Each structure stands twice: as structure tokens, then as C-alpha cells.
Amino acid sequence: MELPGQRDGGRCRLRRGGFSSRAAAVQAQRYWRGEDVDPDLSLVTVGQWLDIWLATRHAIRPATQRIYTQLVRDYVKPGLGNVALTELTIGRVQAMFTSLLRANATRVRPLSATTLQRIREVLRAALNGAIRRG
């Protein structure tokens, strides 16, 4: 969009940004570059990170929050809660899912494929948040 009224008769462009102020834009830029990461985040365990991640989920419905909390409490934390976030490997995640599947044989009500998929989705979302935080 062009605005009239330049002194020298040239063009004057109206520029719009997605942030309310320059400080907000700089803060968002620092976040995405990873410059605002706490240095102690490398000492966090998977269980501690999941608690932090769950506490920061504000844009989800209360029922979804309850499901996420239950899946983390009942399935993810017992399998991976004591592992340091920096030492988490694909093998450890696979071992957790293998132990969940083996426990299915002894359960009165086995876990469904949908529940296993939801566990994977919650863990994936939480770990993607950790990656974004550095």
C-alpha cells in the first residue's frame, strides 16, 4: 500500500508487522534462534521437562489437558521420567513402547492402538518443544 505525501514526490510505503512492538519482534527472534534458552535446561530429565511442557499448554481445552496429563503420568514418566533429556535416544523410546506392549499381555484391559498413538503424539509434541527451546 502506498501513501501520498513524500516531500520529494517519491513513494511512501505502509509497512505492517505481526508484532505489537519492535521489542516483541526482537524477543520472538531471540526465542526462535535459541538465544533465550536457560543454561540449566541441559540438566533436566524427561519427567521434569514433561511437567514444564504440560504447565505451559494454555491454548488447549481442559479435557485435552487432562488426557495429556494422564498419558504422561501413567505411561511416559514411568518409562522415561528419570532419563536426562540430553541422553534420550530412539532406542530408549522404543524400549518404553516395547515394555508397554509386553505389559498388555498381563493387563485385564489392554492398551488400544489409539492409546499408543496418543502416547506417541504427546511425547513427540513435548520433545519438539524441547528442541525449540534448545
Domain of 116, CATH number, reads: 1.10.150.130
Residue 43 lies in a domain: yes
Domain that holds residue 103: 38-133
Q: How high does pLDDT run on average in the chain?
A: 81
Task: Out of 9-18, 37-46, 67-76, 97-106, pick the least confident.
Answer: 9-18
| 60 within domain boundaries | yes
pLDDT tens-digit series, residues 43-101: 788 988 898 888 888 788 889 999 999 999 999 999 998 988 888 899 999 999 999 99
pLDDT recorded at residue 5: 58
In a domain, 1, yes or no: no
Any domain includes 11: no
> For residues 32 and 12, what is the distance between their CA atoms, to the nearest angstrom?
31
29 within some domain: no
Instruction: Name the residue among 39, 18, 24, 25 with its Cα closest to residue 133.
Output: 39
With respect to residue 10, please indicate whether it lies within any of the assigned structural domains: no
Asked if residue 124 is part of any domain, the answer here is yes
Q: Is residue 33 domain-resident?
A: no
Beta bridge partners of 3: 12
pLDDT of residue 42: 64
Written as one string, the DSSP assignment of 95-130 is HHHHHHHHHHTT-SSPPPHHHHHHHHHHHHHHHHHH
- Higher confidence at residue 34 or residue 103? 103
How many separate domains does the chain show? 1
